Amino acid sequence: MGARAHPTSAHWGHYQVVVDEGRVVDVRPNPDDPAPAPIMNNVPAAQHHKTRVARPTVRRRWLDHGPGPDPRRGDPEDEYVEVEWEKALDLLAQELDRVRTEHGNQAIYGGSYGWGSAGRVHHAQTLVHRFLNSIGGYTRSRTTYSHGAIETLFPRILGAPSVPRLLHRAPTWKQIQEHTELLVTFGGLRLSNTWNASGGRAAQTAGPAMREASDAGVQYVSLSPLRDDIPEHVKAGWVPVRPGTDAAVMLALMYVLFTEGLADTGFLDRCTEGSDVVRSYVLGDRDERGYGPGLARTPEWAERVSGVPADELRSLARQMAEKRTLVNVGWSVQRARYGEQPLWAGVALASCLGQIGLPGAGFACGYGSVGTYGGGSTPLGLPRMPQGENPVSEFIPVTGISDALLNPGGLYEYDGQERRYPDLRLVYWAGGNPFHHHQDLKRLTRAFGRADTIVVNETHWTASARHADIVLPATSSLERDDIATSQGDLSVRVMARAVEPHGQARDEYDTFAALAERLGAGERFTEGRTSGEWMRHIYEQWRATTARNGFEVVPFDTFRAEGGVEMPGRVDDEALLAEFRADPEGNALQTPSGRIELFSSTIDSFGLEDCPGHPVWLAGPAVADREGEYPLVLVANQPSGRLHGQQDMGAHSMSQKVRGRAPLRLGPADAAAYGVADGDVVRLSSAQGSCLAGVVVSDAVSEGVVQLSTGAWYDPSSTEADCVHGNPNALTADVGTSALSQGCTGQLLRVRLERFAGPEDRLPPVRAFDPPVGVTPVG
């Protein structure tokens, strides 16, 4: 049999894998895709890599001594033992039963954050939640690393439905092309980010859409520390801004609007609450708390803070008032300490322009963050596996994992509540990699050391798997039948199995069914269906919903035979908040005032130091301090070479590495000042830790800034640095955006850089891609 191409789907799009003699040997873009994502080139090497988990595996010390805190968890020399499936399932079922009996179900943490892989049936998050619900529930997590501040702040200032609307139903690129004159984007429009969307997308449409809008005359202004945060094929003005200072820029833009009579007072009066407070603050008549006079937020003041020339700010504000303007705040901008402020200031700025609710204008947050944003919406919903009900009400903010494990019973604030961390004993992770995503990984290692038992289902031996006591091998999405689609997608597609499972890897559906059976919940978990039967079931349920709404789609067997169906009922002409603008009383927002809250008496009443009652300027810990101990600002953004930490050993990801390490970009002036050049290895240090990385000099990086994207597999195997591979979360601080949202702040931090001196043979090797001690790879 010769090589055959199989269509498949991933978060990075719809594409084909070429299979020869049971192995993935190549990938091909889908012929219909106008701009395929190069990330797919990681797939062949990752699919059969030696770091695939091939058998159920138990950590030797846990096997010998039983459950309990163990500071050795994550020790690179720790030994693992491969066991039979039946034994692993028995051990795990016993341990789950012990924990729920001795401590109650809330002692099981099943927040299990992460992207896993695409596919609606074999969705690891959904399945682990469904399983834990079937056995009595678990402590869950709230919000996301992506946009925790958006999810918490916006319900307060724009009303609860604003979050799904803002995240999924923004003005489309088509509308932008038709109506928008000026798109001002804080955090750029990073093309490589649009390659991914949770669940994928039939075709990569965002990049081409940006170009078409540019060709049609839409003017773009990108405020960002990196020039290439906006694609070259878009004609854009680049305004380098110091990271973490966007709120200052926005306040100064408002200063110009207020003082030059350009603010739309009609809109502010009709549609917003508290614009007088914001105005007094901006003009310097009042400080953050309203205790007395403050500082005028003039363009000159903002220039000192942000590095953006005052004249440019004045002229930008005037243009924004004159033109049909859309203000975009990228998710990155809120993924930092005080991340609520640039969001809220962005809403205030767009309110002053008075264009919210007009087609192609107003406020948005997410263009350039994921590929589906601006691509229309799918209001009829998608086929979906039900998670069941969680009988446990306990939750933690998703970023609270280390805090909870290190400080059970400890007090913390969140969204106006004073809460206590639960006493977590067992942590079950499926479809995520906390040693990719969380901040301050040394602290996370200490936290994992405090649990009785850590369980990880994985396709690969990630750093998280290497901190676990029980590791169960999961099939990859190429090894199972599934349905692919996402919010805003263009179609619903069949993902057919392309290769046999690796080693003894199993579909998680079957793993959880077997565990549920042992725990007396088999029927509750499966409802008598196999995963294949669920695939048909959720498709047919969805088909019934679309039919009720007047859209006929083909039955499951036809869908399967034809490989997919076009998405019914797509909407791509919505203006955000148009109804509200038309009739602010009749279509009041779900806020206390019914209007956009530029001042929130609710948030004000929380009395938070780090999030007062209206947008303010607060200088975060990552704001540049060139004279200090950590003089450079590190931007830990999303990697262009892969999705997060997934398939870091793949060809596209590896092609970017420098001497096997993550590429660290810095500008020519900084490179000269530090005496480093392309190909050098450097050590970066922060107050939290250190890592090695390889230098790439680029004039796309503004002065004082270095860029080290996330996703290099954490490698603590040497004493030369906390991570020898270049994972920026070895350096980040584990602190929330504010006591309001407790969002992720991993995007920005301050660092020191030194050339890694010493002979080549002192350079510690990267061991991240060696399987752990005791594990025999299946190749």
Ligand X SMILES: Nc1nc2c(c(=O)[nH]1)N[C@H]1C(S)=C(S)[C@@H](COP(=O)(O)OP(=O)(O)OC[C@H]3O[C@@H](n4cnc5c(=O)[nH]c(N)nc54)[C@H](O)[C@@H]3O)O[C@H]1N2
Only one of the segments 54-62, 459-467, 535-543, 656-664 lies at the binding site for ligand X (rule: CB under 6 A); that segment is 459-467
Q: Which of 47, 76, 59 is nearest to 766 (CA)?
A: 76
Q: Residue 747 touches which of ligand X, Mo ion, none (CB < 5 to 8 A by kind)?
A: ligand X
Q: Answer yes or no: 713 catalytic.
A: no
Judged by CB under 6 A, the number of residues near ligand X is 65
Q: Residue 190 touches which of Mo ion, ligand X, none (CB < 5 to 8 A by kind)?
A: ligand X
Q: Which of 696, 683, 771 is nearest to 725 (CA)?
A: 683
Is 589 a binder of ligand X (CB under 6 A)? no
Is 36 a binder of ligand X (CB under 6 A)? no
Only one of the segments 432-440, 521-529, 575-583, 587-595 lies at the binding site for ligand X (rule: CB under 6 A); that segment is 432-440
Rg of the chain over all Cα atoms, to the nearest angstrom: 26
Judged by CB under 5 A, the number of residues near Mo ion is 1
Q: What minimum distance in Å lies between the beta carbon of 261 and Mo ion?
A: 41
Q: Residue 16 touches which of ligand X, Mo ion, none (CB < 5 to 8 A by kind)?
A: none
Q: Which of 13, 124, 126 is nearest to 432 (CA)?
A: 124
Gap between the Cα atoms of 363 and 351, Å rounded? 8
Q: Answer yes or no: 113 catalytic.
A: yes
Gap between the Cα atoms of 513 and 461, Å rounded? 23
Six token digits for residue 309: 């020339």
Q: What minimum distance in Å lies between the beta carbon of 474 and ligand X?
A: 4
Is 457 a binder of ligand X (CB under 6 A)? yes
Is 335 a binder of ligand X (CB under 6 A)? yes
Note the Cα 227 to chain centre separation in Å.
22
Q: What minimum distance in Å lies between the beta carbon of 101 and ligand X?
A: 26
Is 390 a binder of ligand X (CB under 6 A)? no
Task: Extract the runs of DSSP E, i.e. beta strands, from 507-567.
Answer: 564-566
The string of DSSP codes covering 224-260 is SSBGGGS-TTS-EEEE---TT-HHHHHHHHHHHHHHT
Q: Residue 220 touches which of ligand X, Mo ion, none (CB < 5 to 8 A by kind)?
A: none
Tally of residues, the chain: 779
Q: Residue 646 touches which of Mo ion, ligand X, none (CB < 5 to 8 A by kind)?
A: ligand X
Is 508 a binder of ligand X (CB under 6 A)? yes
Only one of the segments 212-220, 328-336, 354-362, 687-695 lies at the binding site for ligand X (rule: CB under 6 A); that segment is 328-336
SS3 39: helix
Is 458 a binder of ligand X (CB under 6 A)? yes
Is 246 a binder of ligand X (CB under 6 A)? yes
Gap between the Cα atoms of 652 and 42, Å rounded? 5
Read off φ and ψ for residue 3, nearest 5 degrees. Answer: -65, 145
Is 717 a binder of Mo ion (CB under 5 A)? no
Q: Write the DSSP symbol of residue 96.
A: H
Q: Which residues of 10-32 are buried (b: 16+ CB within 10 A; e: fewer)?
A: bbbbbbbbbbeeeebeebebbee
Tell me which residues in 741-760 interact with ligand X (CB under 6 A). 744, 746-748
Is 484 a binder of ligand X (CB under 6 A)? no
Q: What minimum distance in Å lies between the beta carbon of 330 and Mo ion?
A: 12
Q: One of 12, 62, 115, 429 is an active-site residue; which one?
A: 115
Q: Which of 204, 355, 637, 690 binds ligand X (CB under 6 A)?
A: 637
Residues 6+ apart with CB under 8 A from 249: 186, 223, 241, 302, 306, 308, 313
Q: Are 78 and 771 in contact (CB under 8 A)?
A: no
Choice between 70 and 734, CB closer to ligand X: 734
Note the Cα 291 to chain centre separation in Å.
38
Q: Which residue's structure tokens are 């945060």? A: 229
Six token digits for residue 655: 């092609």
Q: Which of 644, 661, 665, 683 binds ligand X (CB under 6 A)?
A: 644
Which x/- pattern, by CB under 6 A, does the window 719-738 give for ligand X? ---------xx--x------
Is 141 a binder of ligand X (CB under 6 A)? no
Tell me which residues in 161-190 interact with ligand X (CB under 6 A). 186-188, 190
Q: Which of 494, 559, 468, 610 is nearest to 95 (CA)?
A: 468
Is 635 a binder of ligand X (CB under 6 A)? yes
Choice between 589 and 733, CB closer to ligand X: 733
Is 378 a binder of ligand X (CB under 6 A)? no
Only one of the segments 130-138, 152-160, 239-247, 493-501 lies at the binding site for ligand X (rule: CB under 6 A); that segment is 239-247
The string of DSSP codes covering 354-408 is T-TTSTT-EEES-TTTSTTTTS-B-TT----------S---EEEGGGHHHHHHST
Choice between 484 and 553, CB closer to ligand X: 484
Q: One of 62, 80, 113, 281 is an active-site residue; which one?
A: 113
Q: Which residues of 351-366 are buried (b: 16+ CB within 10 A; e: fewer)?
A: bbbbbbbbbbbbbbbb
Gap between the Cα atoms of 684 and 93, Å rounded? 43
Is 116 a binder of ligand X (CB under 6 A)? yes
Q: What minimum distance in Å lies between the beta carbon of 186 and Mo ion?
A: 17
CA distances from 568 to 197, 374, 545, 630 (A): 19, 18, 11, 53
Closest-by-Cβ residue to ligand X is 746
Closest-by-Cβ residue to Mo ion is 146
Q: What minimum distance in Å lies between the beta carbon of 144 and ligand X?
A: 6
Residues 6+ apart with CB under 8 A from 181: 217, 218, 219, 323, 324, 325
Six token digits for residue 398: 């998703």
Is 531 a binder of ligand X (CB under 6 A)? no
Q: Which of 8, 51, 146, 175 binds Mo ion (CB under 5 A)?
A: 146
Q: What minimum distance in Å lies between the beta carbon of 193 and Mo ion?
A: 10
**Site residues (CB under 5 A) for Mo ion?**
146
Residues that bind ligand X (CB under 6 A): 114-117, 122, 124, 145-146, 186-188, 190, 192-193, 195-196, 223-226, 229, 241, 243-244, 246, 330-333, 335-336, 368-370, 430-433, 436-437, 457-460, 462, 474, 508, 635-640, 643-646, 710, 728-729, 732, 744, 746-748
Q: Could you list the active site residues?
A: 113, 115
